[in-house]
Structures are given as structure tokens and as C-alpha cells.
């Protein structure tokens, strides 16, 4: 691993922060924390922390000795001084005299001694940093170090690899007890330059930021060199099918299998993030992959991301895809059974009240293809994949020099079910559509964009399909929540299919279709040329049918139901003069919606239509409003609010109706009217 310290960069950071009133100690603490945080082989998604002992002044001007230590929720790669809250040292040091300190009391002690009470919670490893005397302390979960400590006889190996310059700390759950034992190990030999924490990671320290950082990189290199010089070749590879299926062939089935059933056809779904590379596939193709996966996580805090470890499934044979669905479901059932047994056995050991987390895997390893990270949001799914890559690094190294032997699951349990983590999860309420994927055609138009925005605000990830890729991307950005834009001519079946493939590639599947794209052609029906009517049917009927066909194909693979929503317009009920080319295919689409409700209800797939009228959009532009209101001799405002309520109806009102239909879990074959009231167009 390369040492990235650069004097000029360090001095520049000191000078830049000095202008903002931040002292040299904290500026350099930020500098090397970012160097460590930028390297995934050291630090990943909150797994690691740093500190420095310095002085801070409170609001009344009193100066205190403080520990500035990484606050929870901050990413080390982009940390700022406020991500290293200052805690008064005196109180922290006094805590070492205590016999016992619960996790809750430890947090209370740390919070009540913050200089700024608005700071984030100081790291759970704060006391360990405080009890060591050095000015700068660095801590990482380096994959190279894990290869050494995740061995059965790790104590002897640590001695062989690092000599007596590093102290050895046996595994203890992070918190007060670990801090005390680590400090005792240091006190027994204060000449050490760092501590190796069994099954967990490494601490290094020094009198200045550079010394602590140099030592971290040095000892990580010692570990890397040991693995490189002593590594044996990897285990034999498993035989793969002659023809492998593609990731998109299995993604919806897998995504459906890991959804949590709430019973009665209701599900909490997850997003799947597919990740692959030569290194990933090479490792996952090992004949021993299921064995490795079953042994557990490489460092305990990964359990918050991937539970007790990954799930391995067999390689999918393209010629036997029909059977593969059952294989995936049986593997997920086995994972759930093991996880439930792990929870029940460990929960029974004391009287603490715990709620079992959902038992689904968060990382699936597929030989021949790569891996899928699963999470309630795309961000969580990607984090699971990131963690998977580092798990592979650590296991590969551990197996090269011995046998991967991580922390036992019994010892992992108190960390996964740490009371403070449980409280955090309980406060993290999902939104109504969290975990769901909505594909919206005509997604960059007024109604499509408003619908995407509303669905994204309610937790869904939107796939915005539009003829114009730039506008689709723009609407996706406006919708937020990691939504994506896809350019496609949806009257071309291959382009429609590609849009759904993209949804599967990015999110793992589709749960909601909003089939919204449409365009109007005018002309008296008796004189209309066939080509115009056929063109209208392509977009206003066949594109809806093609979208729905793709959606139900994916929904049936997922096996978790779904909903089709069609924009059918008032013309489907109440024709307007010279509007036949538009209204006739829309009437067919209204019945298309009912046909899907009838044919797919048994699969939990619902189908509804929204019947909207007079909305400002690409179909009813400001110029058209001016000309039509002028022709009728009314103002534009009167024209737009010419309904029973006397109010203009907006794209947001239509979006609200789609959302209602998506959320109403027992509503299918429904038509919802959004027109401010028009008796002639009212449904009977
Ligand atoms: Zn740690």
C-alpha cells in the first residue's frame, strides 16, 4: 500500500483551515483521516476512526484538554473538522477507574462532555482512543491485517509477522471493556507502535499526525508482504455450466426471493445492485465459496451491512433457467432458517428484549457472474456490494496463508444486536414506497415528471423513460432518490425491452409501471387517413400493451405482485369532436387495463387507470389553451377551470391519483377520474 503523505498538501490544509479558525492539530487530523478514508482496503463506510488530543475553548472562554474523535455518521474520506467532535479528556480518563460502564452510559458520558452539544455522537471506540497517551491515534479495519487476525492461531501469527513492535489485543466487543483491555496491553509494553485487535483491525499511534499515519501504512505493508511471500495458490475452481445465464436473467427472481413477506400478498422489497469484475468472479468461482460464505464476516462491524455473511448460490445454467428459480428460493429459505436459529439461540442467553431484524441476506455470490448487494435503498445495496468486495479481499488473503477463521457467530451477535444500533434502526422509518422501483413512460412530460417526483419523494426509485434522453436525465435529476433517465422510442418493442432491461440492471427489477406516454392527432374520423390512426394506435395503445407485457414478465419472475397504472384520459370515456384518433386507442387502453386486472390478479398484480382531463402539458400547450379559450370567448383561466369545482387541474393532481392507486393494495380494475368534475365524462 502506498504512503500518500505529502508535505505540501499537509501544509496547505493547515493554512486553509487556519483561515477558518481551525488549529494545526485538527487540520492535520482531517488531512490524514481523509488519506485513510479514501482507501477502501483500510476503511469502508464508517468502519474505522481517528482522533487527536488537543485543546478547545468553550463559549465562556474556558480552555479544555479535549479528544477530537470521529463522530458517527461521518465518512472519513470527506471528513471536516465538525466531523471530529471535541470531548473533554478529564471525564473520559476518569472512566478508566470504573469497573463497569453500559453502552448507554458510555454514550451519555461522552455526550455530556462535548464542547458543542450539537455534535454527532463520538465513535463507540472513543474511550480506547482516550486511554492511549499519544496525541494522534488511527484505527482501520485493513483487509491485509484481517487476513492475519482471521486465523485460528492468530496470536502466534501476529507475533511472527509483527514482532514485538505491535501489541496483541484479544477479541472483545467494541466499547468500554475493549478500551480498558487495550490500554492494559499498551501499559504492559509502552514501546509498541500500535495494537493488533484480534478478528477486528489495527490501531497505530504517534506524537504527530504523520507518525501515526506512517505506522499504519507500514504495518499494513508488513501484513501485505507476509501474505504475498507466504501465500499458497487458491483452492480449485468449481465446474461451471457450458452456457451461463446472464445477470438480468436471474436478477428479478433473486430480488423477489429476498423480499420480506408481510403476509397476505404484501411485501417489503429490496433493491439489488449487481457488481462484477475479474477479481470478484475469480474468487467466487472457488469450489469452496459456499463454505467461505458460511464462516462469516471478516470484521464484526460488517454485520450491520451484510448480517452474518454472504449467501452463495450455484452458477445459473442458461439451459436450465426454469429450475433455477426453485434453487434460489430454497437457498434463501436455508439462509433465513440459519439466521433465525442464530438469533433465537443467542437471544435466549440473556433477558434483554430484542427484535429480530429481517432475516434476508444482503449479499448474494453467484459463481460465473459476480455478486448482488441487497438493500432497502440503492445506496444501501451499493454499500453491501462495496463491503462484499472487501470481504473477498480479506478472505482471499486469509485463505492464502492459512484458513479463514473469523469471529464466531456467537461473538458477532452482541455487535449485530448492539442496543444502540437497534435504537437507530427503530427510528429509521421507511417511506411508503421504499424498496420499490417505478418505471414511467413519457417520464419527462408534465404528468410523467410530476409522477416521478411524487413517487421518489415517497421512497421509490424512478426509471424515467422518454423519447428525449437528455430530458429523461433532467427529469430523473429533478425527481431525486437515485432515479435514472432512459431514452427510448417506446413504439419500438426492442427499445421498450431495453428500457426494462436497464431497470433490472440498475435496481434488480420493477414493481410499478406508470404507462403514461401519449400524443394526440386530430381529424374527423370519417376522413382520417389510416396511417394517422395506426400511428396513434402504436403509441396510445400498443406501447401501453408492450410496457405492460414487459412489466408482468418481470413481476412474475419476482413473485411479489406489482401494479400497472395507465394514463387513459377523459377521451376513453367521453369523446371530443375530431379527437377520434386519440380517443379510440385510449378507449382500447382502458379495456387493456381491465384485461390485465382480470388475467393477472391471481399473481397479485393490480391494474388501474387514471382518467384525466385538461392538464397543462405537451398535449395541451399554452398556445393551444390561448387558441381554444379564444375560440370559446372565455378567458384562459375560465377555460382551464371549466369544471364542477371551478379549479384548474394540474399534473401534480394526476400524480396524486397514480400514487393513491399504487398504495391502495386492495384496489384493482379501478378507474380514477381527475378532471375537477365533468358530468358528461363521469363513469357509470
Ligand atoms: Zn473498529
What secondary structure does DSSP assign to 96-159, as a single string? GG-S---HHHHHHHHHHTBSSTTSPPBPTTHHHHHHS--SEEEEE--HHHHHHHSSTTHHHHHH
What are 485-507's pLDDT values in tens digits?
999 999 999 999 999 999 999 99
CA of 43 to the centre of ligand 1 (A): 10
CA of 18 to the centre of ligand 1 (A): 31
C-alpha cell at 272: 439489488
Least Cα distance to 460 among 469, 451, 471 occurs for 451
- Find the helix or strand (DSSP H, E) in which 57 lies: strand 48-57
Task: Give the percent of the chain with pLDDT over 90.
Answer: 90
Whole-Å CA distances, 39 to 33, 48, 143, 511 = 10, 11, 11, 36
Residue 425 pLDDT greater than 70, yes or no: no
pLDDT value at residue 172: 96
CA of 31 to the centre of ligand 1 (A): 20
For the residues 426-442, what does the mean pLDDT come to?
Answer: 92
Least Cα distance to 510 among 482, 472, 550, 478 occurs for 550
C-alpha cell at 143: 483487509
What are 584-610's pLDDT values in tens digits?
999 999 999 999 999 999 999 999 999
For the residues 305-325, what does the mean pLDDT come to?
Answer: 95
Task: Give the percent of the chain with pLDDT over 70.
Answer: 99
CA of 203 to the centre of ligand 1 (A): 9
For the residues 1-21, what does the mean pLDDT come to?
Answer: 97
CA of 299 to the centre of ligand 1 (A): 8
For the residues 82-108, what does the mean pLDDT come to?
Answer: 96
CA of 129 to the centre of ligand 1 (A): 11
C-alpha cell at 195: 495494537
Residue 541 pLDDT greater than 90, yes or no: yes
584 three-class SS = helix
pLDDT value at residue 509: 98
pLDDT value at residue 617: 87
CA distance 649 to 669: 24
Q: Among 400-404, 416-420, 579-583, which is the least confidently predicted range? A: 416-420
Residue 379 pLDDT greater than 80, yes or no: yes
pLDDT value at residue 384: 96
CA of 394 to the centre of ligand 1 (A): 15
pLDDT value at residue 428: 74
CA of 683 to the centre of ligand 1 (A): 63
648 three-class SS = coil
Mean pLDDT of the chain, nearest integer: 95
Residue 426 pLDDT greater than 70, yes or no: no
Residue 352 pLDDT greater than 80, yes or no: yes
CA of 178 to the centre of ligand 1 (A): 10
pLDDT value at residue 46: 75
More confident residue, 261 or 353: 261
| 78 CB neighbour count, 10 Å cutoff | 12
pLDDT value at residue 628: 83
DSSP 467-491: SSHHHHHHHHHHH-TT-EEEE--TT
CA of 568 to the centre of ligand 1 (A): 56
CA of 174 to the centre of ligand 1 (A): 7
CA of 57 to the centre of ligand 1 (A): 29
Among positive and negative, which fits the CA dihedral 203, 204, 208, 214? negative
CA of 163 to the centre of ligand 1 (A): 22
CA distance 53 to 35: 19
pLDDT value at residue 424: 66
Within 8 A by CB and 6+ apart from 529, the residues are none
Pairing state between β 484-487 and 461-466: parallel
CA of 228 to the centre of ligand 1 (A): 25
CA of 456 to the centre of ligand 1 (A): 35
Query: 119 pLDDT band (50/70/90 cuts)?
Result: very high
How wide is the angle at C-alpha 273 spanned by C-alphas 484 and 550, nearest 5°?
Answer: 60
CA of 141 to the centre of ligand 1 (A): 6
Query: 201 pLDDT band (50/70/90 cuts)?
Result: very high
CA of 655 to the centre of ligand 1 (A): 46
pLDDT value at residue 627: 86
> Helices (DSSP H) in 287-418: which residue ranges?
289-295, 303-306, 321-347, 378-401, 409-416
Residue 216 pLDDT greater than 70, yes or no: yes
C-alpha cell at 95: 472512566
Amino acid at each position: 500500500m502506498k504512503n500518500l503523505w505529502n508535505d505540501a498538501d499537509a501544509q496547505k490544509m493547515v493554512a486553509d483551515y487556519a483561515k477558518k479558525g481551525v488549529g494545526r492539530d485538527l487540520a492535520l487530523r482531517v488531512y490524514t483521516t481523509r488519506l485513510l478514508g479514501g482507501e477502501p482496503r483500510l476503511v469502508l463506510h464508517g468502519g474505522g476512526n481517528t482522533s487527536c488530543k488537543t485543546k478547545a475553548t468553550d463559549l465562556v472562554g474556558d480552555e479544555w484538554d479535549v479528544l477530537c474523535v470521529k463522530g458517527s455518521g461521518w465518512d472519513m474520506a470527506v471528513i471536516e473538522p465538525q466531523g471530529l467532535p471535541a470531548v473533554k479528556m478529564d471525564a473520559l480518563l476518569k472512566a478508566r477507574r470504573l469497573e463497569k460502564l453500559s453502552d448507554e452510559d458510555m454514550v451519555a458520558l461522552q455526550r455530556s462532555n462535548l464542547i458543542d452539544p450539537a455534535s454527532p455522537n463520538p465513535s463507540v471506540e472513543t474511550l480506547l482512543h482516550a486511554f492511549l497517551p499519544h496525541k494522534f491515534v488511527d484505527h482501520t479495519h485493513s483487509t491485509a491485517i484481517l487476513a492475519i487476525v482471521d486465523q485460528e492461531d492468530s496470536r502466534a501469527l501476529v507475533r511472527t509477522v509483527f514482532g514485538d513492535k505491535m501489541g496483541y489485543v484479544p477479541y472483545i466487543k467494541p466499547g468500554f471493556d475493549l478500551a480498558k483491555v487495550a490500554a492494559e496491553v499498551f501499559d504492559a509494553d509502552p514501546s509498541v507502535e500500535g495494537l493488533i485487535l484480534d478478528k477486528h483491525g489495527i490501531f497505530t499511534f504517534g506524537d504527530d499526525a504523520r507518525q501515526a499515519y506512517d505506522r499504519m501504512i507500514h504495518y499494513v505493508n508488513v501484513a501485505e508482504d507476509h501474505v504475498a511471500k507466504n501465500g499458497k495458490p487458491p483452492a480449485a475452481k468449481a465446474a461451471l455450466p457450458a452456457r451461463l445465464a446472464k445477470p438480468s436473467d436471474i436478477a428479478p427472481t433473486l430480488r423477489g426471493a429476498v423480499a420480506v413477506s408481510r403476509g397476505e400478498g404484501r411485501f417489503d422489497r429490496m433493491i439489488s445492485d449487481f457488481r462484477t469484475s475479474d477479481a470478484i468472479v475469480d474468487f467466487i468461482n472457488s469450489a469452496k465459496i459456499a463454505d467461505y460464505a458460511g464462516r462469516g464476516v471478516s470484521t464484526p462491524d460488517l454485520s450491520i451491512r451484510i448480517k452474518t455473511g454472504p449467501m452463495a448460490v450455484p452458477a445459473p445454467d442458461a439451459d436450465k433457467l426454469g429450475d433455477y428459480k426453485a434453487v434460489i428460493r430454497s437457498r434463501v429459505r436455508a439462509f433465513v432458517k440459519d439466521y433465525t436459529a442464530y438469533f433465537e439461540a443467542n437471544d435466549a442467553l440473556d433477558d434483554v428484549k430484542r427484535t429480530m431484524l429481517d432475516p434476508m441476506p444482503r449479499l448474494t455470490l453467484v459463481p460465473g457472474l459476480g455478486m448482488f448487494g441487497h438493500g432497502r435503498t440503492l445506496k444501501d445495496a451499493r454499500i453491501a456490494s462495496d463491503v462484499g468486495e472487501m470481504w473477498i479481499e480479506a478472505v482471499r488473503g486469509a485463505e492464502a496463508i492459512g484458513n479463514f477463521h473469523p469471529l464466531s457467530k456467537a461473538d458477532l451477535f452482541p455487535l449485530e444486536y448492539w442496543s444502540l444500533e437497534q435504537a437507530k434502526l427503530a427510528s429509521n422509518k421507511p417511506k411508503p414506497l421504499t424498496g420499490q422501483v417505478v418505471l414511467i413512460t413519457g417520464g419527462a412530460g408534465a404528468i410523467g415528471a410530476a409522477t416521478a417526483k411524487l413517487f421518489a419523494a415517497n421512497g421509490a426509485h424512478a426509471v424515467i423513460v422518454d423519447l428525449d434522453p437528455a430530458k429523461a436525465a433532467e427529469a430523473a435529476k429533478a425527481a431525486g432518490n437515485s432515479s435514472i433517465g432512459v431514452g427510448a422510442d417506446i413504439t419500438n418493442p426492442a427499445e421498450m425491452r431495453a428500457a426494462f432491461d436497464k431497470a433490472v440492471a440498475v435496481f434488480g427489477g420493477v414493481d410499478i409501471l406508470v404507462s403514461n406516454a401519449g400524443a394526440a392527432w386530430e381529424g374527423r374520423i370519417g376522413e382520417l387517413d389510416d396511417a394517422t390512426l395506426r400511428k396513434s394506435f402504436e403509441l396510445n395503445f400498443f406501447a401501453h400493451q408492450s410496457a405492460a407485457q414487459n412489466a408482468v414478465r418481470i413481476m412474475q419472475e419476482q413473485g411479489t405482485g406489482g401494479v400497472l397504472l395507465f394514463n387513459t384520459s377523459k377521451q376513453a370515456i367521453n369523446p371530443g369532436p375530431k379527437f377520434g384518433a386519440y380517443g379510440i386507442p385510449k378507449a382500447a387502453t382502458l379495456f387493456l387495463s381491465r384485461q390485465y386486472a382480470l388475467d393477472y390478479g391471481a399473481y397479485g398484480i393490480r391494474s388501474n387507470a387514471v382518467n384525466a382531463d385538461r392538464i397543462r402539458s405537451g398535449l395541451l400547450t399554452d398556445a393551444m389553451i390561448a387558441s381554444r379559450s379564444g375560440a370559446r370567448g372565455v378567458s384562459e383561466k375560465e377555460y382551464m377551470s371549466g369544471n364542477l369545482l371551478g379549479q384548474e387541474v394540474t399534473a401534480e393532481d394526476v400524480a396524486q391519483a397514480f400514487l393513491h392507486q399504487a398504495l391502495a393494495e386492495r384496489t384493482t380494475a379501478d378507474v380514477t377520474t381527475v378532471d375537477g368534475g365533468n358530468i358528461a365524462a363521469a363513469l357509470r
